[in-house]
Amino acid sequence: MAAIIDGRVLAKKIRDEVAAEVRGLKEKGMKAPKLAVILVGDDPASQGYVRNKEKAAAEVGMSSEVRRIPSSIKEKELIEIIRQMNADKETNGILVQLPLPKGISESRATAEVSPEKDVDGLTPENMGLLIRGDETRLLPCTPQGIIEMILSTGIEIKGKEAVVVGRSNIVGKPVALLLLQRHATVTICHSRTRDLGEVTRRADILVAAVGNPGLIHGDMVKPGAVVIDVGTNRVEGKWVGDVDYETAKDRAAAISPVPGGVGPMTIAMLLRNTLIAARLQDK
């Protein structure tokens, strides 16, 4: 029976650390870092995620602003808003909530964020630094959270077989790079991978970031593996992951649940990134 990797407990520790640093800044007479979130349209899931981010920022003593924009906005106008936020000295972190409505390029919009304020780590500059193995700037939140969760199990990443299922810019690719940087032997799987189970069964560390409920069944998990389930899928009114928890927990040494796994860690890392962004701008 696997140990549960409790994202809520780990995230609380990180949020407490961030809150202590924010208090320290205020005691020195400095301003609390400010996070700005741009929410385009009225996607209910995105609205929920943004509310959680706003609440989490307030809880660590940061200020935040949510710019709610109708889905009818033109790409050019959105880019103008991002540029204004880039220029605003009060704003330290900028996050463009994805997905964006049809007709607006996510790639072009996220590339407009100033790299020093890019708390999602999605600008070409920050992604380029990650590929170069430079982790001194802003890294994507969910992948950072995943690494913390893996490390919390006590497993040494160096030399291990790591398999990442999913190759998105926001999760799959960056988490694979962070694992590679920590000397794992990394394989990335995607929708065209032949015999997924044959690959995942090799994994000492298995990260599932697909968006397909229960895709990874227990018999696709190597006995003793550390399994991180990034999937956030709504099925019959309940949140479930990409890993079939009931069958996987009997094979894995450690497994993250959904909910209460990667989700809280992503928000904690966003707060940490906002603090890092404020420091980068203070230099």
Ligand X SMILES: NC(=O)c1ccc[n+]([C@@H]2O[C@H](COP(=O)([O-])OP(=O)(O)OC[C@H]3O[C@@H](n4cnc5c(N)ncnc54)[C@H](OP(=O)(O)O)[C@@H]3O)[C@@H](O)[C@H]2O)c1
List residues binding ligand X (CB under 6 A).
142, 165-168, 170-172, 189-193, 196, 209-212, 215, 230-233, 262-263, 266
Tell me the Ramachandran region of residue 4: left when phi exceeds 0, alpha when psi lies from -120 to 50, beta otherwise. Answer: beta
Q: How far is CA 273 from CA 24, 82, 139, 185, in A?
A: 17, 18, 8, 27
For ligand X, the closer CB: 64 or 232: 232
For ligand X, the closer CB: 149 or 230: 230
Backbone angles phi, psi at 49, to 5 degrees: -60, -40
At closest approach, how far in Å is the CB of 37 from ligand X?
15
For ligand X, the closer CB: 81 or 272: 272
Placement of tokens 């009997």 in the chain: 250
At closest approach, how far in Å is the CB of 23 from ligand X?
26
At closest approach, how far in Å is the CB of 246 from ligand X?
19
Q: Which residues lie closer than 8 Å to 30 by C-beta, 6 or more apart? A: none
Catalytic residues: 53, 97, 120
For ligand X, the closer CB: 78 or 210: 210
For ligand X, the closer CB: 233 or 247: 233
Helix H or strand E encompassing 207: strand 205-208
At closest approach, how far in Å is the CB of 114 from ligand X?
22
Helix (DSSP H) and strand (DSSP E) numbers for the chain: 10, 11
Q: Is 38 exposed, middle or buried (0-12, 13-18, 19+ CB in 10 A)?
A: buried
Q: Which two tokens stand for residue 27?
A: 């005691």
For ligand X, the closer CB: 25 or 257: 257
At closest approach, how far in Å is the CB of 178 from ligand X?
14
Task: Assess contact for 209 and 168: CB atoms under 8 A.
Answer: yes
Residue nearest ligand X by beta-carbon distance? 168
Which residue in 16, 2, 15 sits closest to 257, CA to CA? 2
At closest approach, how far in Å is the CB of 117 from ligand X?
20
Backbone CA torsion sign across 127, 131, 134, 139: positive
Three-class SS state of 213:
coil
